[in-house]
A and B are shown apart, each in its own frame.
Chain A
């Protein structure tokens, strides 16, 4: 849905989605528990050959990085001021590596396969009234909302710029929210029209 998947036949593409998701979760959890430079740095370095072995290039790395660059910069500045440069490197590095690991999984696994894998977790919850199909639909709709939210935000920003207004959060967010509420209504109608 987000257009992240990159076609390929590498060992990472062939890896079972559940294995890929669990491995990514393990790496991100370990980094979360032990966010030290001697762990963050080697994992970051190891990501380069991993990306290459999946047939992914620098632009793919950049695609994942650009979304968090501003946040990472703010984080670094804040942490340098609070705890010094080493700690700043560790915390920002932890964030960047986690995003790059998640990015690698998304680029080598189709969204559909990930949705199916994650919704399989709902199967044992059947006795509590959780239905797998519903969980799958919910996940797919949630993922489907990402580009809708992005489009609503960018549409509101462009509308402000077109009128010569500086696109500030206080003007863009309410306009985008109105669009999203209208779209939520449309999604509800579309589901009802299909008998869901």
Chain B
């Protein structure tokens, strides 16, 4: 369970989040909004990448700003550019890096690594240079590197932005199959069809919160007004 209480944050002169109050308990939650609406800042507060100027973010009762390491074990984070998330030379090494601080013995670590490689179809690429994978494979590797830590929540910050249609469908299937609670920030509204709840953000505020059809319709109307 994630709770945001009175969360506000400024970046320079700009108020990027204003008094956000949310309780996120559903299994699949979408966050939509125009560029600069505060979605990414909101997402980054969920695992302590950004400490809000005011308010608190609680994950299972843990304060994301103070108990950051414990919160990061619970909340995995996917960036929009999978390449930026790859840190190690090979696929296996990159996944293994995520296990480093979990203090697992070698047998358990190897077993978890092998299982994760198999789950994401990356077995044959284990020793492959990670940066030479295709865009879709990099996205799978990013998923694998985050999920190998077995977080309870996965926050995805526009993971479909750089993907072609095939890889977007693959992403949708991967997300649908996850046991974790998922908070997905996206501009691809069709990814949210099966979601439980969608939050619409605008100018750092939550302007709508509800089931996907209503929220998406609200967002389309809001953007339609802006274009006129």
Chain A residues within 8 Å of B, Cβ to Cβ: 1-3, 5, 110-112, 115, 133, 137, 140-141, 143-144, 147-148, 183, 186-187, 189-196
Asked whether B85 lies within 8 Å of A190 as measured between CB atoms, the reply is yes
With A3-B132, A140-B87, A186-B84 as known contacts, state yes or no: A194 contacts B145, CB within 8 Å. yes
Contacts of B97 in A (CB 8 A): 137, 194, 196
Name the CB-closest residue of A to B75. A193
Asked whether A133 lies within 8 Å of B100 as measured between CB atoms, the reply is yes
Name the contact of B79 in the complex, choosing from A110, A111, A190 (C-beta under 8 A). Answer: A190
B121 within 8 A of A: no
Asked whether B77 lies within 8 Å of A193 as measured between CB atoms, the reply is yes
Contacts of B146 in A (CB 8 A): 193-194
Asked whether B131 lies within 8 Å of A186 as measured between CB atoms, the reply is no
Asked whether A112 lies within 8 Å of B127 as measured between CB atoms, the reply is yes
Main secondary structure of the interface of A (DSSP, over half): helix
CA distance A137 to B96 in the complex (A): 12
B89 within 8 A of A: yes
CA distance A140 to B93 in the complex (A): 10
Name the CB-closest residue of B to A1. B89
With A143-B89, A191-B87, A195-B73 as known contacts, state yes or no: A110 contacts B127, CB within 8 Å. yes
CA distance A191 to B101 in the complex (A): 12
Contacts of A194 in B (CB 8 A): 72, 87, 97-98, 145-146, 149
Name the CB-closest residue of B to A147. B131
- What is the count of residue pairs linking A and B with beta-carbon distances less than 8 angstroms? 78
Report the minimal beta-carbon distance from A148 to chain B, rounded to whole angstroms: 8
With A1-B131, A3-B129 as known contacts, state yes or no: A115 contacts B81, CB within 8 Å. no
Asked whether B73 lies within 8 Å of A190 as measured between CB atoms, the reply is no
Question: Which residues 97-138 of B sit at the A interface, judged by CB distance below 8 A?
Answer: 97-98, 100-101, 127, 129-132
B15 within 8 A of A: no
With A144-B131, A147-B131, A194-B145 as known contacts, state yes or no: A187 contacts B90, CB within 8 Å. no
B180 within 8 A of A: no
With A183-B84, A194-B98, A194-B149 as known contacts, state yes or no: A189 contacts B49, CB within 8 Å. yes
With A193-B77, A195-B149 as known contacts, state yes or no: A110 contacts B87, CB within 8 Å. no
Contacts of B41 in A (CB 8 A): none
Contacts of A196 in B (CB 8 A): 97, 100-101
